Amino acid sequence: HVIERVGDFSTSVVGDSPIPPQTQPETAPGNKTSFTENYQSSVISYQLGTALGDKTSFTENLAKGVTLEMVSLPAGKFLMGSSESDSEKPPHQVKVNSFAIGKYPITQAQYQAVMGNNPSGFKNNPQNPVESVSWDDAQAFCQKLSQITGKTYRLPTEAEWEYACRAGTTTRYYFGDNDNQLGDYAWGRENSNNKTHPVGQKKPNAWGLHDMSGNVWEWCEDDWHDSYAGAPDDGTAWIDNDNRSQSRKCLRGGSWSRYPVCCRSAIRIRLNPVIHHGNIGFRVACVSPGL
């Protein structure tokens, strides 16, 4: 029985199964400076390289009529992290190059079309996000997808993921600071009925991306670091080249089993790359020239 502690949150792992943490109390008024106040005091403005209206989307045709929708995002700068958890500190400015990211998490139908199998536990709908996939499984999917399409697909870096999730916002969630709207945007512990749901049923963020919060945790390319001290500021993955296959990896976004505090834009946890569970999935990024 292993406890993974991440800032103020912990993940309990029994065998290969991460168990949702106990309810975490929100900070009582007056106990510490709010995230919004800390964020505003940083005085780092969000800059977007291209007008939002200039975003483009494209679709990959996979096997048997299955498609993959991608959204191209412009280069820009944003403030990554927060002051709510040690692992999210320090908030720091990051410049991200243009890239494309999946409009939705990878679905069971898409995984089946590319890999020829479906490891998921919740198989009631092929449009549910694929889950029970390890980081290694996600890497294999990206490699195969790259071969099929002739483009370069990989997992998003942590910086790319948070940039895409925030979609220009500076709040705790991509719809505001208060979690009372979370049910409109995400499947979490309070509305999921303890299972995944078809992608795209909830409202998207400002850039048209769905399920960035909740439904399934999403693997990122980066190796885990306990804080952002020394993190790259160019949007690239933070990788430890020594023993990379054994190092713990980052997951973002929360899941159907998590409370609202774990569905914030800045939330991050760590797991061994071979772990798979019914609340873990992924979405893909594309970095081919010309996007």
Q: Is residue 278 part of a domain?
A: yes
Identity of the residue numbered 143: Q
Q: What is the pLDDT of residue 11?
A: 36
Q: Is residue 27 part of a domain?
A: no
Cis peptide before 18 (omega within 30 of 0): no
Distance in angstroms (rounded) separating the CA atoms of residues 130 and 122:
8
Looking at residue 204, what DSSP letter applies? Answer: P
Q: Is residue 3 part of a domain?
A: no
Tell me the pLDDT of the chain averaged across its residues: 85
Residues in CB range of 150: below 8 A, 6 or more apart: none
* Domains contained in the chain, number: 1
Distance in angstroms (rounded) separating the CA atoms of residues 126 and 149:
22
Q: Is residue 105 part of a domain?
A: yes
Q: What is the pLDDT of residue 43?
A: 29
Distance in angstroms (rounded) separating the CA atoms of residues 31 and 93:
27
Assign residue 70 the CATH number of its domain.
3.90.1580.10
Nearest residue to 166 (alpha-carbon basis) of 237, 108, 225, 91: 91
With b for 16 or more beta-carbon neighbours within 10 A and e for fewer, the 68-94 pattern comes to bbbbbbbebbbbbbbbbbebbbebbeb
CA of residue 108 relative to chain centroid, distance: 17
Q: What is the pLDDT of residue 246?
A: 76
Tens of pLDDT, residues 68-88: 999 999 999 999 999 999 999
Contact 166, 80 (CB under 8 A): no
Distance in angstroms (rounded) separating the CA atoms of residues 9 and 12:
10
Contact 70, 103 (CB under 8 A): yes
State the pLDDT confidence band at 14, using cuts at 50, 70 and 90: very low
Q: Is residue 239 part of a domain?
A: yes
Contact 40, 49 (CB under 8 A): no
Structural domain boundaries enclosing 255: 46-286
**Residue 119 phi/psi, 5° resolution?**
-80, 0
Tens of pLDDT, residues 232-282: 999 999 998 777 777 999 999 999 999 999 999 999 999 999 999 999 999
Helix (H) or strand (E) holding 148: helix 135-149
Q: Is residue 38 part of a domain?
A: no
Q: Is residue 158 part of a domain?
A: yes
Q: Is residue 17 part of a domain?
A: no
Q: Kindly give the interhelix angle for 108-115 and 135-149, rounded to the nearest 10 degrees.
A: 70
State the pLDDT confidence band at 289, using cuts at 50, 70 and 90: low
Q: Is the pLDDT of residue 172 over 50?
A: yes
Tens of pLDDT, residues 187-201: 999 999 999 999 999
Identity of the residue numbered 238: W
Pairing of strands 99-102, 249-252: unpaired
CA of residue 253 relative to chain centroid, distance: 4
Pairing of strands 99-102, 285-286: antiparallel
